[in-house]
Structure 1
Amino acid sequence: MIELALQSLMLKMPQPTNTAIMVIGGAEDKVHGRDILRSFFVRAGGEDARIAIFPCASREPVVIGERYHTIFTEMGAKAIEVLNICDRAQCNDPILQEYVRNCTGIFMTGGDQLRLCAMLSDTPIMEIVRTRAQSGSVTLAGTSAGAAVMGHHMIAGGGSGESPNSSLVDMTLGLGIIPEVIVDQHFHNRNRMARLMSAVSAHPDLLGIGIDEDTCALFEGDGTLQVLGKGTVTIIDPGEMTYTNRAEVGLADPLCICNLRVHILSQGCRYDLNKRLSASCPQ
């Protein structure tokens, strides 16, 4: 009896996978090759995957949740639950917490990053998600709004197509899953370079990560970032920034930011987050 009980327990426990945190720039291919979504599926355990979908960033969570449920069902996932959290009190539900604690993949959809944070920040479920993602015991993916929330500091909104200036970006607190980065999504597609530079100038201890549509910055457990998809990942490193006039000019005045280091990486390129060096470029 004890042996059977242990076997049953082992079947319920997450099996080891090549986990990662997948930060997706939005508009990932959901129809044809589905390469990024398939990579998430594989890293979540493939046919043994037990996936939790968080659609609560969306204004149509039922529709968007069902769309991803269908995709991962077609891929062959073992179990899929859409956790349509529309009230913070639901995050105290022990049944939901147990599923999040034992699933092998977590997917946060697009929508409004402020809405997503309002539902999940400082809740028991979010603590489980963050702890498991940081320890490498689950594969976590977030697309669009689900990507924006990854840092401790988060871009809540702003403009595009201007020179860098302080009024170009609205900042707030994210979910702190990868606290050392500021993420911007739909990046080159919506001309957000100046927006991310403006954000980084205010937080020179953090890396700016700009991710194009149908593109993923895949954070591995060994401290490297790998690029997947059709676009690019732009990394803005202010570690050697020598000067900014941010404190001396008005909110709408152009910023001077000296000695930023910029990397633009495409499919297959790698970046060492600890050394802050691209593994794909001669040093």
Structure 2
Amino acid sequence: MTLQLKPEFLQRMPQLKRTAVLVIGGAEDKVHGRQILSTFFERAGGTDARIGIIPCASREPDAIGTRYHNIFEEMGAKSIEVIDVREREQSDNPVWQTFLDDCTGVFMTGGDQLRLCDLLANTSIMERVRMRAQLGEITLAGTSAGAAVMGHQMIAGGGSGESPNRSLVDLSTGLGIIPEVIVDQHFHNRNRMARLMSAIATCPDKLGIGIDEDTCALFESDGVFQVIGKGTVTIVDADHVFYTNQADVSPGDPLSIHNLRVHILSQGDRYNINKRLVLSPLHHS
């Protein structure tokens, strides 16, 4: 696991101020309790937070950037910058570069994960965000499309409501922030279990993580995440699979996958992605 938080940083920060990577299933509560957004805000530094919002996955970046700007402004963030990249060349903008060097939190919004990667993969902006998140220098959150891009492999699209098969999922290259995982979002809400299983049959070395709406996998150090929110996080683990016909059947034919492990985790449950192990739950965030 490449996400390593510096021990000296963790020692000097109180529990709620620790940096984290929040992988959010989409449609997080923006009005009432705002549990997930409030957790991001606190982990980014609370009223000392300097937050960068990346809305470029959306076809309406002005509107969605403004919406999150207003939310974090209401919470009391010290400063907020909407990093509204429309062309890859804009990643060299010195104003944004300077802000990202000093910020404490970055939030990637929903939209189209392919659009997000087309605009930002391998740019100076995203390389800086990725490096600082993996070093534990900032808190990073991605919701919906912003969650899908977290792995090295990414679900770019596909269907639902079928048996697992190779044609059910389109895979592409993500941003590699948590390279060991493949993330699917709006998970049970859009019946995407077969899609995630199909992805893991193609990439059995990766861990499948399906995240429901208004639900988050909150990663800290050592590859451990905790579930917060109203839904569940589904783990699809092919580590003990001893047979699949994935390489031998045509794209539309049903897949056989023997000894696939599935875990369903809810609020407070924890999981270690390095050890592929469910941990004792914590029933608070």
Counterpart of 1:186?
Answer: 186
2-structure distance, mates of 1:170, 1:223: 26
Asked if 1:206 corresponds to 2:206, the answer is yes
The equivalent of 1:248 in structure 2 is 248
Aligned counterparts, 1:88-99, within 5 A: 88-99=88-99
Alignment match, 1:102: 102
Which residue is equivalent to 2:72? 72
CA positional deviation for 1:221 = 1.4
Task: State how 1:15-94 maps to structure 2 within 5 Å.
Answer: 17-94=17-94
C-alpha distance in 2, partners of 1:62/1:188?
29
Q: Which amino acid aligns with 1:199?
A: A
Q: Which residue of 2 aligns with 1:163?
A: 163
Name the aligned partner's letter for residue 47 of structure 1: T
**Cα displacement (A) at 1:156:** 0.3
Deviations 1:39-68 (A, max 9, x none): 000000000000000000001000000000
Deviations 1:175-212 (A, max 9, x none): 11000000000000000000000000011111000000
Letter in 2 for 1:104: T
Stretches of structure 2 that go unaligned for 5 or more consecutive residues are 1-11
How far residue 274 of structure 1 moved from its aligned partner, in angstroms, is 1.8
Deviates more, 1:36-45 or 1:89-98: 89-98
| Residue 94 (structure 1) shift | 2.0
For the residues of structure 1 that align with 2:251 and 2:67, how far apart are their CA atoms? 41
Counterpart position of 2:215: 215
Deviation at residue 93 of structure 1 after TM alignment: 1.5
Aligned partner letter, 1:276: R
Q: Which amino acid aligns with 2:220?
A: E
Q: Which residue of 1 aligns with 2:141?
A: 141
Structure 1 residue ranges without an equivalent (≥5) = 1-14
Shift of 1:119: 0.8
Equivalent residue number for residue 266 of structure 2: 266
Whole-Å separation in 1 of the counterparts to 2:154 and 2:224: 21
In the alignment, the residues of structure 2 paired with residue 180 and residue 98 of structure 1 have an alpha-carbon distance, to the nearest angstrom, of 30
Q: What percent of counterpart residues are identical? A: 70
CA distance in 2, matches of 1:162, 1:45: 44
C-alpha separation in 2, matches of 1:125 and 1:221: 23
* 1:101 Cα deviation from its structure 2 partner: 1.4
Q: Distance in 1 between matches of 2:154 and 2:203?
A: 11
Number of residue pairs aligned between Structure 1 and Structure 2: 267
How far off its partner does 1:72 sit?
Answer: 0.3
User: In structure 1, what is the Cα distance between the partners aligned to 2:110 and 2:175?
Assistant: 15
> Match of 1:139, as an amino acid?
T
Report if the CA contact (8 A) 1:161-1:191 is conserved: yes
Aligned-pair CA distance for 1:273: 1.6
Shift of 1:222: 2.9
Once residues 133 and 41 of structure 2 are traced to their aligned partners in structure 1, the CA distance between those partners, rounded to angstroms, is 15
Is this contact kept in 2: 1:51–1:104, CA < 8 A? yes
CA distance in 1, matches of 2:179, 2:273: 12
Contact between 1:19 and 1:221, CA under 8 Å: does it hold in 2?
Answer: no
CA shift for structure 1 position 171: 0.3
Q: Larger radius of gyration, structure 1 or 2?
A: 1
* Deviations 1:232-279 (CA, angstroms, capped at 9, x unpaired): 000111111101001111100000001111110000000112211101
- Indicate the RMSD between aligned Cα atoms, in angstroms: 1.0
After superposition, what is the alpha-carbon deviation per residue over 1:117-143, rounded to whole angstroms, capped at 9, x for unaligned?
A: 011001001110110011110000000
CA distance in 1, matches of 2:20, 2:101: 16
My pick for the range that moved more, 260-269 or 218-227, is: 218-227
**With structure 1 as the length reference, what TM-score do the two structures score?**
0.93
2: CA distance, partners of 1:235 / 1:102: 35
How many angstroms does 1:163 deviate by? 0.2
Q: Is contact 1:270–1:280 with CA below 8 Å preserved after alignment?
A: yes
